[in-house]
Chains A and B, each alone.
Chain A
Amino acid sequence: EAQVTQNPRYLITVTGKKLTVTCSQNMNHEYMSWYRQDPGLGLRQIYYSMNVEVTDKGDVPEGYKVSRKEKRNFPLILESPSPNQTSLYFCASSRAGGWTNEKLFFGSGTQLSVL
């Protein structure tokens, strides 16, 4: 089944403890992206990757890192999480990437709480 898989689904952590949210897609998509969703603010793009080894900042990259060493995986790293990073996070992928902004396939989301 074609899908974008995020793990974990829920995560509660404390300030400053490094964490990684994994994202994997099995559709051979070139483009992958991370978003955070907060009430009243909609989805905001954190980072995106046009293809392997190519990543770029979205609108809210501060406090996050990403890497795209292989096509299928695009982990989101919070080196020192803070409470303002408490949010619902989505990973998404698409076939052709940013050129055509084709339809995105979203993962099921990761609800992160930083205490």
Chain B
Amino acid sequence: EDKVVQSPLSLVVHEGDTVTLNCSYEVTNFRSLLWYKQEKKAPTFLFMLTSSGIEKKSGRLSSILDKKELFSILNITATQTGDSAVYLCAVGSGTSYGKLTFGQGTILTVHP
């Protein structure tokens, strides 16, 4: 059974701090790993990673994948209150195309 575990489950920081969110996985025939941000209701797409060691970057957010150690990290630098959200990691399997397994999410709270 495919498994995705995120840590920490919850994180509280102050504006300006840098945070690192972790996602580890056990998936048969890994294809891709995706990060989503969920603020009020619907998750929104952040990154998709398929190759090991290549950093994806968007503004203050960046992510990297390690396919050997089976994990990914999402970094947020100079956090702002608008970064407060649930961050979801999902992994796609090449064995069952279309099947996407999500982790339980990390709740990030950024205080002013």
Which residue numbers of A lie inside 8 Å of B, CB to CB?
Answer: 31, 33, 35, 40-45, 48-50, 56, 58-59, 90, 97-109
Contact A106 B44 (CB under 8 A): yes
Residue B64 CB within 8 A of the other chain? no
Beyond A103-B34, A106-B43, A106-B44, is A98–B97 a contact (Cβ under 8 Å)? yes
**How many B residues face the partner with a CB closer than 8 A?**
25
List residues of chain B with CB within 8 A of the CB of A101: 31-32, 34, 48, 92, 100
- Scan residues 95-112 of chain B and give those whose CB is less than 8 A from a CB of chain A: 96-105
Beyond A90-B42, A108-B42, is A102–B97 a contact (Cβ under 8 Å)? no
Can you give 9 A-B contacts (C-beta < 8 A)? Answer: A45-B102, A50-B97, A59-B101, A100-B31, A101-B34, A106-B43, A106-B44, A108-B41, A109-B42
A-B contact count (CB 8 A): 71
The B interface, classified by DSSP as helix, strand, loop or mixed, is strand
Within 8 Å by CB of B48, from A35, A98, A103, A106, lies A103
Most buried by A among B6, B90, B100, B101: B100
Within 8 Å by CB of A45, from B36, B97, B100, B103, lies B100
Q: How far is the CB of B91 from chain A (nearest CB, A)?
A: 9
Q: How far is the CB of A22 from chain B (nearest CB, A)?
A: 16
CA distance A29 to B105 in the complex (A): 26
Q: How far is the CB of A36 from chain B (nearest CB, A)?
A: 11
Contact A97 B105 (CB under 8 A): no
Contact A33 B43 (CB under 8 A): no
